[in-house]
């Protein structure tokens, strides 16, 4: 009996499942691979790298172009010594920039309309020939010192007054801005032109001898041409500035 009991007890012990030894790790379940996600991640990395490369290349693609440094009136030509210089900008095939190396050709053209200081020049701003604005005429004046403000410049809006008979022009308007100069310059009270634009001013340095005279061209309404031209032919015109080109 004892032998059978021991044998039965031994059989029971051998039938029990074996327990893992202390310190052994259970086997991990196999990982599920997702190749589609991995491919998407790689694609996103490549797209980001390509975008960054394009931005860097565009930032470095800069060109030297023409910029306006002083106002250019309609019909006036740009001049490297007076009203243009160069500036660096990012190249853009959609904008017709005028490169600095093309300034020689640009100086042979005329502005289609007034161009403010600080503007970057594009080809559409200039042409070989420019017509006068509708309803306007161009009248040239040769003014003596005292018949015009000393700081008169292209683009200013002026009024022109006739000099009264028997009076002589003085220096009252030479330093004033926007005054009628009617008293000191001997002008009458009724203006010949009330709203004219200074179109061109001849540089005094162009003359061998400086006389103080100033040759200017005004854009005036066509109905005012006859009276202004008649007074100008006799040298009996006083010009007073109404506003400058910054207003």
| Chunked mean pLDDT (size 10), the chain, 247 residues | 52 55 62 73 84 66 89 85 90 85 90 86 85 79 89 88 64 40 51 87 58 83 88 89 66
- At residue 69, the pLDDT reads 93
pLDDT, mean over the chain:
75
Dist CA 6 CA 54 (whole Å) = 85
Reduce the DSSP state of residue 76 to 3 states and report it.
coil
- At residue 158, the pLDDT reads 92
Q: What would the pLDDT profile of 132-170 be if each residue is shown by its tens digit?
A: 777 888 888 998 888 999 888 888 889 999 987 654 444
What letters, b where the CB count within 10 A reaches 16 and e where it falls short, cover 103-115? beebeebbbeeeb
Length of the chain measured in residues: 247
Task: List C-alpha distances in Å: 20 to 13, 14, 16, 25, 66.
Answer: 16, 15, 13, 9, 85
- Picking from 160, 178, 180, the residue whose alpha carbon sits closest to that of residue 221 is 160
Residues carrying CATH 3.90.1210.10, the chain? 60-127
CATH code matching the domain that covers 60-127, chosen among 3.90.1210.10, 3.40.50.720, 1.10.150.130, 3.90.105.10: 3.90.1210.10
Q: What is the largest CA-CA distance in the chain?
A: 163
């Amino acid at each position: 009996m004892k032998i059978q009991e021991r044998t039965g007890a031994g059989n029971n012990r051998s039938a029990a499942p074996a327990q893992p030894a202390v310190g052994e790790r259970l086997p991990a379940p196999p990982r599920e691979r997702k190749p589609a996600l991995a491919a998407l991640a790689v694609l996103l990395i490549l797209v980001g790298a390509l975008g960054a490369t394009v931005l860097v290349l565009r930032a470095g693609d800069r060109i030297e172009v023409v910029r306006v440094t002083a106002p250019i009136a309609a019909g006036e030509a740009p001049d490297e010594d007076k009203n243009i210089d160069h500036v660096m900008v990012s190249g853009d095939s959609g904008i017709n920039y005028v490169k600095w190396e093309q300034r020689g050709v640009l100086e042979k053209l005329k502005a289609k309309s007034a161009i403010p200081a600080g503007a970057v020049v594009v080809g559409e701003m200039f042409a070989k020939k420019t017509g006068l604005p509708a309803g306007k005429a161009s009248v040239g004046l040769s003014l003596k010192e005292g018949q015009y403000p000393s700081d008169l410049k292209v683009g200013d809006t002026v009024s022109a007054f006739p000099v009264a008979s028997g009076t002589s022009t003085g220096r009252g308007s030479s330093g004033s801005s926007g005054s009628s100069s009617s008293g000191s310059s001997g002008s009458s009270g009724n203006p010949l032109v009330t709203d004219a634009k200074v179109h061109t001013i001849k540089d005094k340095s162009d003359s061998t001898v400086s006389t103080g005279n100033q040759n200017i061209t005004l854009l005036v309404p066509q109905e005012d041409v006859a009276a202004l031209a008649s007074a100008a032919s006799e040298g009996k015109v006083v010009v007073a500035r109404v506003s400058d080109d910054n207003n």
